Structures are given as structure tokens and as C-alpha cells.
Chain A
Amino acid sequence: MKLPAFDYACPRTLEEATALLAEACGDAKVIAGGQSLLPFMAFRLAAPGLLVDLRKIAGLTGIEVGDEEIRLGAMVRWRDILDSAALAHALPLLPAAIGHVAHYQIRNRGTLGGSLAHADPASEFPCIAVLCGASVDVVGAGGRRTLPAGDLIAGPMETTLGDDEIIVAVRFPRWPEGRRWAFDEFALRHGDLAIAAVAACYDMDGPHIANARVAVMGATDTPQRVPEAEDALNGRAPGDDTFGTAAEAASAAIEPTEDLHAGAAYRRALVGTLLRRGLRASCTRQREAAE
């Protein structure tokens, strides 16, 4: 569990960083908070010849709540998200979810860029990005591109990023006032990776639910929307029946993963339970109007 040998670079610009990555032809890795990469290296699951540290590159931090969208720099840490009053107001689902991430020390270092790039199916940030239809700005040696969060994640611990590409920022569309939301998670101990979690949001169109979105993480091999559950919500009045139907639909729709701690049937049941409980709580939880 000792780190393998590696070289270290701490460039000041994205150009330098992407050039270093391109030069290394796959033998280099970006390091952000190091909370996932270093354990991987200690277990010798990764042995990059070069680590490119992002900490001195300008423009990768900061939370900007604009009129159209919310921009979060890739080096924004969990702690920053939890401390942001603006986010608590504009996108309350995000800090609610991030409160479930790991432990104090890890939240002080772990970054959202690292979380997206690591693509652990049990991590909260990618799930919220997928649910909300966030876009991810990426820079490589060949230039910039923007892609939907859902397209970035290719599988468990797998992304569509090129070897020389760096995540720069994630942009969330602004929420309308009154949007309701839900997040519920089941982990074995607080801060452990989720066995299952659900996130949801919807608007009220008169007495009916509209624009429903439901996503599942931890129970499936990637964070994913569940259209069957969304269909069960849209156009219906919120209430135990509707929520129960949506929960059953989500339970039935997913293909649960299995591991040492939870089998597929258990995870399937958990997803239903969490979604039903989360949606029930959502009735009293909504994005408030601006003061």
C-alpha cells in the first residue's frame, strides 16, 4: 500500500497541463484532491508515471450563480459546496446530496472535477449532474469541448475523457422558483459510499407534477435517469399513490448491481423505498423565491 514511483508537475496554465498530458501518452494523470487517485495508487490499481497537479491553475475554482446557469469550477471542493449560501438557495438539491459525501477531512479536499472523472457509480455529484442535465466543459491539447454530464460517464469508473483532457467546469441550468426536489441515500455508515441513492426534482403545474426527473445511483453501474419513474409522476397529483407508483416503477426499471454488502433484490427494494420516502419529503421542500 505504498505509492509506486512517479514524477510530479505543477503547471500554472491549462495549456501546459494539457501539453504534459498529451506528451505522456496515457502515462500521466491529473491530480486534484487526491482522495480517490492516491488510494488507487496505494493499492497499485493505478501507477501513472507522472502526476499533473491542477492546484496552481487559475480559473478552476469558484461558484458563480448567474441568471441562466450556475457555473462550478472543476476544483470546487465538497466543503465549498456545503458552505455556499448562494447554492443553498439556487440549487438546494446539490448541497443536500453532497452532505452525504465521505467524511470531514475528505470533504475538505475532494473536488467535483475529480469525482466526475473518477466516475464511481456510488458518488453523489455525477448523479446530480446527470439528473439536472448539467454540461461539462473540457479542455484538451486539441482544444475545448462541452458535453452533457450523461455523455461524460461511460461506465463504472469509466469516462469518455481523452488522456489529455481536463475537466474545467460544470454548468447547471438555473432552476425555476418553486421546483421541488428529493434526495435520499442508504449507506452502511454515514460517509460510506452509497448502497443506493435517489435524486428527483419536479415542478408543479397547477395541481399536477410536471418536468419530473428521477435519477438513481449506487444501485446501478452508472448514475442514470429513470424515465419509467418520471412518467409515473408527470401529469399526476403529488401524493402517496403517485409516489408509490413511481417508486415501484423505478424499482422495476433498474438493473441493480451486486457486491459484498448488498444483493440485487435488496438494492431494488431500497431504490423503491428511498424514492417513495424522498418524494414524500419533497412536498415540503422546494426552491424558494428570491428575497
Chain B
Amino acid sequence: MNTPNTYIGGHVERVEDARFLRGAGRYIDDVTREGLLHACVVRSAVAHGRLLSIDAEEALAMPGVHAVLTAADVAGEIPTIPFRRPNPKIGPYAQPVIARDRVRYFGEPVALVVADSPELAEDAAELVLPEIEPLPAVVTRAASLAADPLLFPGTTEDNVAAVFTATRGDAEAAFAAAALVVGDSFSTQRQTALPLETRGLLAEWDADAQHLTMHGAAKLPFFNRRAMARMMDLPETSVDYVEHDVGGGFGARGEFYPEDFLVALAARTTGRPVKWVEDRREHFAAIAHAREAEAQVELALDASGRILGLRGEMFMNVGAYVRPNGMTPVRNCAQFMSGPYRVPNIALQATALVANKTPAGTFRGPGRYEGSFFIERLLDMAAAQLGLDRRTIREVNLLTNAEMPHPLAQIRPSDGSRAETSCDSGEYAEAFHRCLQAFDWEEKVRLDGRLIDGRYHGIAVSCFIEGGASGPAETARMRVAEDGGVEVYVGSSAIGQGLETVMAQIAADTLGLPMERIRVFHGSTTYLAEGWGSYGSRATVMGGNAVREAGLALLERFRALAAGRLGVGEGEVSVVGLQAVGPDGVVLELADIAAEGLASEAKFLNSDATYTNGTAAVHVAVDPETGRVEVLDYVVCDEVGRIVNALTLHGQVTGAAVQGFGSVFGEELPYGDDGALLVGTLADYLVPLATDYPRVRCLSLESYPSPTNPLGAKGAGEGGIIPVGGAVANAVASALRTFGVAPNHLPLSPARVWALLNPSE
């Protein structure tokens, strides 16, 4: 940075918030168009069956109903949704955009009603009658493994979408030499990310221009544009994805879903703009699910608590189809189960099973939350057996900066994304010690396991790494406007994380301008020829560095233009802040040059992941009679390479921790034996309320900048959720140690904790 500006690293308040707090945000449902029609998706109420026919006559006869689209309206083969990370085995499991002759999950789209109003569309949807001959539903791991019945008969021979292996060193030898082997079965429950704003799309088809505009983009507009163009048989430039304000993403929102195609098809068929806004009930059945994982895993240790090896099997129920990023949690769980620890020998296998449930995708910390829960439980079990302090067993295994780059387990088959990857930098014990100090472990440990006023107190500590900066690239463009302000266009998407603020900080520091002069535009394909988006904790690192490079290029261009104007060599002009200063002290202002078209572009390339590391410590109290667990204190410390904005960072970490409490204590998507989803409202899906967890403290360090990028930043939007399962479960185990309970299966709802204490009931 060439100026004394110091927005980066400051506690800069979010520039977005004034708009949101005044109710001036514009979400997809606020967008409207002349002649707008409304769509309602008809979904299968049967989890598995043969779709024999669809009777839409009565619905079509209703005044105000314009169309009922079914698979029959799709010319040729039903398109399937492309994978973001293809691998050799998953091909047959891609999701068709609408069911043609078979339905495979409760909620699968079978038709789309288009009508004058959303109410009318829903009235008509009730009259669309799909005739479905039910087949037995595959719900559990056992049924899926038994391949009875097959979900894709004639195409595949089993219900296994993929098997990933994570390997390092020689696990067999390590286990043979171990002083202690601990192992058990663990599971995490099916849930979903639950952005508070449900999904929505508004499609406009311009028949004259043969151009499709999709409003409602989030996460990865450019990939979706490519997918849509292919399905619609259009050139990529004839499709745009436009982002408006987005009420949360968390990995689930913004992927290409069947509705993307169906709403676009409706606009193209009717020639009118068509809007669809998902309601909460269908959201539960339609948006990607996550986290349904079971594991049988073992850890081998020497007598001093050093980890020698890790091995075992994991099974992820990924639902009926493999969605664009459906394999990410599966491969991640295997690759990242070792977390921040030195695990020299690894042999893990992760199997993705299909079943008649909503297809899975990513949810903040995909696979990492699950894997962290498994290994953190194993570490506490090992510490107990070795008679070691639970801090010691972690401390001796945490990676040191001297070991960097530290290679993680290698993933096969390779899905093009970091089959080999290494931790980048960090002295992991540092965040660990800072966390325990802030938590006051020495003091709180006196309460551990004690019964006080009718509740058992317990504490625990968990460590994590978070992968960030998904490659391969991000783009940015800058332009000095006529008023002297700078427009910054970036391929990253805003999903509620404060992107506008962070990008403006980076641009302002690079250019030496006040932040007020920067205007950030993001997330729409209309702004840039290519781009990537926001996922995998990448926006600050990838988008931020792209903005920085565009800023540096803009300054160079400023210098060149100024030199031209002054008739001197470029080397004779220095650029300081807003001014170019010539050899004889002549000063040119940025705005003076703007009319000549002062603009720049940059593409930041980087495929090396960043790894934020951190530690969380928790203090809980368990009511043994009701099974209720209260979180009395929660401290998380992370080391993020470079803190761009402490406020937005802590917002992410706190939010992720609370989201993790939801995961641990209540959120669950249960299914009946017939494959019916049993939850359809927020009264049953127990997401945390704003007031439920008042005690979350976070602190952040920036001692070890990431060597992967000039900003030195590490992705940090997901880490907060990763250690929560392990930390809370271990604290509950510690609180209830006199009962010898093993909380190895999430969630720890009051009823389940009570059941742990009352196994005979």
C-alpha cells in the first residue's frame, strides 16, 4: 500500500447497514416488472415412485392461470444440473431439472404453475394431480447400502455415488505400533443452512434480443450463467445473472437448482417476466440439506498422547441426487478430519450414499464440522484413557510454523480441487493459548464435573482449521467516474458478509482514497466478463486481492496518463494519494484525468488454499432432569493471517458459533420411514433465536500472514462453526462424567441428553 490510509485492519462499520436498517435493502421479492407472472412449484409428495402422469386440466382451466409446465414441455432430454467438481463416478447421479418418469425425493419438482398472482398459482398448484406409483423409499444407510431398491436401476449397480479415500503415510503400521487405540461410532444429523431469506428468482426473456436475465443470483453467478446458457442452448453472453440484496447464503443458497431452469423456461414459454419466491415450507424440502454423516473411526497414539494415525470409514447420506457441490462435504470430511493436528498416517474412506431424501450440498464448514466433531471426541476419549490433561493432548499435536507448509491427506479420486493441499502458515498453539487464557481455563476447570444448584458443569476445548480462498481466480475492474469517485466491480458475491465494506476498505487503501469515494458493485454477470463468486471463504482473499491488483493497475494507468499529459517519462511522475506529481512539481488530480477514461482490470490467480486456525473453549451447565444444556461461556480465538475488518470478522465468527449451537442442540431434518420430510416450519426446525446464546466471545490474531496472497489474508467466514460440535459434546461428556455417558451422536437436544442419562427408558 502506498499511502498512510489504514482502513484495512480497522473496526470499520459496515457501509451496507444503513441501507438495511432503514428498510431500504432490495431483496428479490422486492423486485417487480410490468406484466409479471408468478410461479408455484408442484412438488412430489411421494419420496420414491414412478411418475405415471400429471393431470393439469383443472388447473389450466382456472382464469388467470397461464401455464402448467411439466417434463413434457422440455424439448429433448431433460437437462441435468452440472457438477462444480466432477469426478469419474458421479455422472449418473446428476439431478434432472424436473422429474420425468421417476420421483426420488419428497419435494422434487414435477410441474410449475404460472399465474397472475402467487396466491392463484398456489391455488392452481393444489389442483395439479401427479399420479405416482410408490416404490419403497430408501431412507437409511443400511437400506442404501443394501441397494434395495436401486434409485437408478439400469444405470447404476448400487446406491453409492462415490467413495473417496484420504491417505497419508502408512496407517496400518502406525496402528500396529500404537500404545493406545481409541475408536467409536459417531454421527451428525441432517440439517440445512437456513438463510432467513428464502430463495427467489425473477426471469426475463427478451425474445427480440434472445436474451435471458435471471434476477436473484447469489454465491456463484458466473457458473450458473454458463450452466443456464448450455441448458437453454444460448451463447453465454445471452444470459445474465443479476444479484440483489441477499439475506444469507451459508453455502446452500445460490447454487444452480431445478427452479433456475424452470422459472427461466416459464419466462421463455410465456414471453412474460416470471417470479418465483420460495416459501418456508418448500424451502425445507427444496434447498440443499447437509451434514447427515456416520463414522466409525479410530485414533492411534503413543503413550505421551502424540497421534500416530487415524483410520476408519464414514458414510454420508447425500440424498437422491448429487448436486453441483454435493461431494464437497464428503471429500472434505475425509481430508480435513485431521484438523490442525499433526497426523502422520491416515487411511480414511468416505462413502457418499444416495437415498430418497432431499439432495445435499454444502453448509458452512462442509465436512469440516462433521470431521472436527469426530476427532475432538476421540481426543477427549484418548486423554481420559492416557490420564492426560485435555489441553496437553491437543498441545502436543498442534502444528507449528516450522512445519509449514504441512501437507494434508491426499484425496482420491481427485475432483479437481485440492486433492493435495497444505496448511500455509501459523503457530497453532498460539491461538490455543490465547483462547484458554481468555476463557480462564484454570479457574473454570474447578467447576468441571461438579453439581452446582442442580446442574452439572462441564468445560471443553476444541481446535480447528478452516480452508479458505477457493481457487482458481477472481476478477475486478475499476473505473474513475466523472465525479471523481471510483467504481469497483468485483466478481465476488455479497451474501450478507459485509462484502461492500471489505472491498471498499481494500480499494480505498490501495488507491489512497477516502472510503466514501469508493462505490462497490458485485455479484452480477453484467459487471465483468468472467468471475467466480463467494464460497469456500474466498471473497476477502480472492476478491480482495483482485481489487487490490485492479487498484495498483489503476494507479499505474494514472501515472501513464499523467506522464502523457505532462509530456514527461512515466518514471518521472510519482503518484501520491489522489495526485500525480510531475518533475517540476506540477500536480494533476485524479478527476482531471477521469475524462480520458481512467480504468483498469485485474484477475487474481491463486489455487493455494489459506488455512485459518483457531481454538474454541466452552463452559456448559447440564440439567440432568430435563436434559437441557445451557452455554454459560464460549470463547473462540482464530488466527486469520490478516484482519481486514475486525467488526465483520467477529460478526462472521460469532454468527457461525451461534449457528453451530443450532446444529448441536436442535436443528434437525427428520424423515419418516416412507421418506416423507417431517419438518416444514420454523416451529419444528429449532434454529437459534437472537437471544438464545448471549455469551460468545471472540478474539482474532494476525501473526502469520498467508504466503499465498499479497494481502496475507486467510478465509475466515466458516471457521466459527467448525469446532462447535466437538467442543459442546466434550463439555457435556465432562459435565456428566460420573454417569459415563458418551455423547457421540448429534444433536444434543434435551430429550437426547435425558435419554443418555436414562438409557433404560
Question: Chain A interface (Cβ within 8 Å of chain B)?
Answer: 1-5, 43-44, 186, 188-193, 195, 260-263, 265-266, 269-270, 273
Contacts and interface: CB of A to CB of B under 8 A. Distances in A.
A188 B754 contact: no
Interface string B118-131: 11001100100000
Contact of A260 (B627, B684, B761): B684
B761 A189 contact: no
Given A5-B119, A188-B666, A273-B625, A266 B686 contact: no
A44 B119 CA distance: 12
Nearest to B687: A189
Contact of A188 (B279, B678, B679, B750): B750
Contacts of B755: 266
B626 A270 contact: yes
Contact of A269 (B119, B689, B754): B754
A51 B627 CA distance: 43
Contacts of A261: 684, 686, 749, 751
A1 B749 contact: no
Interface residues of B, number: 32
Contacts of B670: 260
B761 A266 contact: yes
B279 A1 contact: yes
B695 interface: no
Interface of B: 118-119, 122-123, 126, 279-281, 625-628, 666, 670, 678-681, 683-684, 686, 688-689, 691-692, 749-751, 754-755, 758, 761
Nearest to A267: B751
Contacts of A193: 683
B758 A260 contact: no
A247 to B, nearest CB: 11
Closest 7 CB pairs of A and B: A1-B279, A265-B761, A2-B119, A273-B625, A2-B122, A266-B751, A262-B751
Contact of B625 (A5, A188, A195, A269): A269
A192 B119 contact: no
A105 to B, nearest CB: 13
B122 A260 contact: no
29 contacts: A1-B280, A1-B281, A2-B119, A2-B279, A3-B119, A5-B123, A186-B626, A186-B628, A188-B686, A188-B749, A189-B688, A189-B692, A190-B689, A190-B691, A191-B689, A192-B683, A192-B686, A195-B750, A260-B679, A263-B751, A265-B761, A266-B627, A266-B751, A266-B755, A266-B761, A269-B625, A269-B758, A269-B761, A273-B625
A202 to B, nearest CB: 23
B671 to A, nearest CB: 11
A116 B243 CA distance: 46
Contacts of B279: 1-2
B324 to A, nearest CB: 27
B122 A273 contact: no
A188 B751 CA distance: 10
B626 A273 contact: yes
Say whether chain A's binding surface is mostly helix, strand, loop, or mixed. Answer: loop
Nearest to A274: B626
A260 B281 CA distance: 17
Contacts of A270: 626
Given A266-B754, A273-B626, 13 more contacts: A1-B122, A1-B279, A4-B119, A43-B681, A188-B686, A189-B666, A189-B692, A191-B689, A261-B684, A261-B751, A265-B758, A266-B761, A270-B626
A273 B680 CA distance: 31
A2 B758 contact: no
Given A188-B750, A263-B751, A2 B626 contact: no
A242 to B, nearest CB: 19
A120 to B, nearest CB: 11
A275 to B, nearest CB: 12
A195 B122 CA distance: 33
A38 to B, nearest CB: 13
A230 B749 CA distance: 32
B118 A2 contact: yes
Nearest to B692: A189
A274 to B, nearest CB: 8
Contacts of A43: 281, 680-681
Nearest to A43: B281
B278 to A, nearest CB: 10
A151 B309 CA distance: 67
A11 to B, nearest CB: 25
Nearest to B117: A2
A273 B626 CA distance: 8
Contacts of B683: 192-193
A260 B123 contact: no
B670 to A, nearest CB: 6
Contacts of B754: 266, 269
Contacts of A1: 122, 279-281
A4 B751 contact: no
Of A2, A191, A269, A270, the most chain B CB neighbours within 10 A belong to: A2
A260 B119 contact: no
Of A43, A186, A263, A266, the most chain B CB neighbours within 10 A belong to: A266
A174 to B, nearest CB: 34
A44 B692 CA distance: 31
A262 B750 CA distance: 9
